[in-house]
Structures are given as C-alpha cells and as structure tokens.
C-alpha cells in the first residue's frame, strides 16, 4: 500500500477520494461499474487549470491508480464492485524512414557487410535475431528467384524473397567469408576472438552498428533494426501489397500488419484505391 501511496498519492488522495466523498461512496463494494464509469466521465468533463478539458493521457494517469488500488484491495479479500475503464488514447504515429533516408543509411556504412545488413532489414523486413541467425545454407534459389530461409518467432521457418541485386550481394558476401570462421553464419565480426577465429555477429553488435550509422547519416532520429522493419512494412502497404501476403513474408499476424495502416495518410489510401481501380479496367 505504501508503494501505491507514494506513486499514486496525488491521484488517489487529491482526486479519487474527494470524488468518493462527494458521491457518498464509503466502501470498495460501493464501487460498481456505474459509479466507476461516472468517475471516468467526470474526469473527461473536468477542466485543467488552463480552462481546457483534461487530456485522455491525464485521465489515464488518474484512473490507472484507482484500478491498482482496487486490485490491491481485492487481493486482500475485500469485496470490489468493478473496475474503472481506461479511456482510449489516440494512436501514436510511429516513426518511419523514407527510402531516401535508407539510402543515406547504407551510404554511411563503410563495409559491404554493413551495407548488406541495412538492405536486408530495409528490403526484406527481417527481425534482428533472424538476421544474425542466417547461415550460408539459408540462401535458396528457385530458378531466377532467390529467397532466404528465415527462422522466426516460435522457431517457425519461412522463405523471404530477395530481389536479384541483393541476392547476388548476399551470395558474394557468404563466399568471401574468412576461412577461419566459427560455424556457417553469413555475418561475422571484423575482428578475431582472442586472435583465433572470427565469431558471428551478435544481436547487440548489429543493433549498435545500425544506431551508429543513423548518427553518421544525420537522420535526426534514433535508428534501430526494428525501425527498418517497420518502415519496410509501411512502404509495402503504401505500394499496395496484399496484407495477407505481407504478413506471411514478414512472419507476423494479419492483426499486427493491420496496425501499420495507422501510419498511412489519406493520400496513401487514395493512391492505393486509384491503383486498384485502374488495374481493373
């Protein structure tokens, strides 16, 4: 309870408890869904010191401690009538990189290894762990088409297409690996471990490298592997790719892919509809 008091003291002592006294709420059992809903609505109607309605983020900061308090009371065997609902907050628009920014990121890399890593994140949408886990045997050819066998979440395998130029670069990189490498991974560190063998790149090493490239490219925003994956998904949707196919290639659920539509503008939606209608004529 002390933690609740210290972390949520203002919300409970200055907002919620005075409201309970005004409403005649004496016990947690009195806090059924109806009064709790009224508490949330009263907050949404409340004005700040500047005379403006409280933001939904502020209402969240008042309602969340009440939920924690009632959960604590219930854990102690007290009867609790309900829980206040948190108001839905507007979806935040997440950052993406443009294709021009990705080009600048690649141009900032000094080695072909690092350039290829940027392209695999940006053009194939690989996750960090999927990239570092790639081995030479994961490069697959099907006629003139190239794929990467990727092990995703839950150790599920999928084939990720690579465009011809990127496929040739990955194959060349895998052929030119140092002879004294440990295992069959594609991406290795540039230094020998204890002067003996070149070790595979680690996830932290790749993440640091990508972040450093972002600073060198002066993109003005933090850059990390997942940002490149997110930018790839967004760009594919903008170009009208079928979300079901995109989900299969990305190794993600359709629900997760659908969330990326929040980053598309009205112009993107117009262009996608125009392309769809034009293709049917």
- Per DSSP, what are the bridge partners of residue 147? 140, 161
pLDDT of residue 229: 95
C-alpha to C-alpha distance for 37 and 28, rounded to whole angstroms: 14
Grade residue 91 by pLDDT with cuts at 50, 70 and 90: low
More confident residue, 139 or 72: 139
- Check if the beta carbon of residue 97 is closer than 8 Å to that of residue 219: yes
Share of the chain above pLDDT 70, in %: 85
Which of 44-58, 158-172, 188-202, 260-274 has the largest mean confidence? Answer: 158-172
pLDDT of residue 280: 58
- Check if the beta carbon of residue 130 is closer than 8 Å to that of residue 117: no
Q: Other C-beta atoms within 10 Å of 273: how many?
A: 11
pLDDT of residue 92: 58
Q: Please, what is the average pLDDT of the chain?
A: 85
Least confident of 56-60, 96-100, 131-135, 250-254: 56-60
Q: What are the Cα distances from residue 49, in Å, to 46, 52, 113, 238?
A: 10, 7, 56, 42
If we measure between CA atoms, which residue out of 73, 83, 87 comes closest to residue 32?
A: 83
Indicate if the pLDDT at residue 3 is higher than 60.
no
Grade residue 97 by pLDDT with cuts at 50, 70 and 90: very high
Helices (H), the chain: 2-9, 17-23, 33-45, 56-75, 99-108, 112-124, 128-132, 164-175, 203-216, 225-238, 243-250, 254-259, 266-279
Grade residue 216 by pLDDT with cuts at 50, 70 and 90: very high
Calculate mean pLDDT across residues 159-181.
89
Indicate if the pLDDT at residue 5 is higher than 50.
no
- Check if the beta carbon of residue 210 is closer than 8 Å to that of residue 86: no
Indicate if the pLDDT at residue 106 is higher than 70.
yes
Calculate mean pLDDT across residues 74-87.
82
Model pLDDT for residues 23-63, shown as the tens digit of each residue: 888 888 888 888 888 888 888 888 766 777 778 778 888 88
Share of the chain above pLDDT 90, in %: 40
- Exposure pattern of 8-40 as b/e (b: 16+ CB <10 Å)? beebbeebbeebbeeeebeebeebeeebbeebb
Do β-strands 157-162 and 145-151 pair in parallel, antiparallel, or remain unpaired?
A: antiparallel
Can you tell me which residue has the tokens 């060198």?
A: 216
Calculate mean pLDDT across residues 77-91.
76
Domains of the chain in start order, with CATH, are: 2-75 (no CATH), 99-279 (1.10.443.10)
Calculate mean pLDDT across residues 128-151.
93
Least confident of 105-109, 173-177, 197-201: 197-201
Indicate if the pLDDT at residue 228 is higher than 70.
yes
C-alpha to C-alpha distance for 130 and 150, rounded to whole angstroms: 6
Which of 8-17, 196-205, 216-225, 237-246 has the largest mean confidence? Answer: 216-225
If we measure between CA atoms, which residue out of 119, 192, 113 comes closest to residue 160?
A: 119
């Amino acid at each position: 309870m002390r933690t609740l008091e210290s972390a949520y003291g203002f919300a409970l002592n200055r907002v919620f408890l005075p409201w309970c006294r005004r409403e005649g709420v004496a016990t947690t059992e009195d806090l059924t869904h109806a009064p709790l809903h009224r508490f949330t609505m009263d907050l949404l109607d409340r004005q700040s010191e500047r005379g403006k309605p409280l933001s939904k983020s502020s209402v969240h900061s008042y309602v969340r401690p009440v939920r924690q308090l009632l959960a604590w009371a219930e854990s102690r065997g007290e009867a609790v009538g309900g829980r206040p609902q948190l108001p839905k907050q507007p979806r935040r628009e997440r950052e993406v990189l443009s294709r021009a920014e990705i080009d600048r990121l690649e141009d900032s890399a000094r080695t072909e290894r690092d350039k290829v890593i940027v392209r695999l994140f940006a053009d194939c949408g690989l996750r960090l762990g999927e990239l570092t886990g790639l081995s030479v045997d994961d490069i697959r050819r099907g006629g003139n088409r190239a794929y990467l066998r990727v092990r995703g979440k839950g150790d599920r395998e999928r084939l990720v297409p690579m465009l011809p130029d990127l496929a040739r670069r990955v194959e060349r990189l895998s052929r030119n690996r140092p002879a004294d490498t440990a295992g069959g991974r594609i991406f290795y560190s540039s230094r020998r471990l204890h002067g003996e063998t070149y070790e595979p790149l680690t996830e932290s090493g790749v993440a640091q490298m990508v972040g450093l490239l972002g600073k060198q490219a002066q993109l003005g925003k933090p850059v990390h592997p997942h940002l490149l994956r997110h930018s790839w998904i967004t760009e594919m949707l903008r170009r009208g790719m079928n979300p079901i196919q995109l989900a299969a290639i990305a190794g993600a659920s359709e629900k997760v892919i659908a969330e990326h539509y929040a980053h598309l503008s009205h112009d993107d939606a117009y262009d996608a509809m125009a392309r769809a209608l034009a293709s049917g004529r």
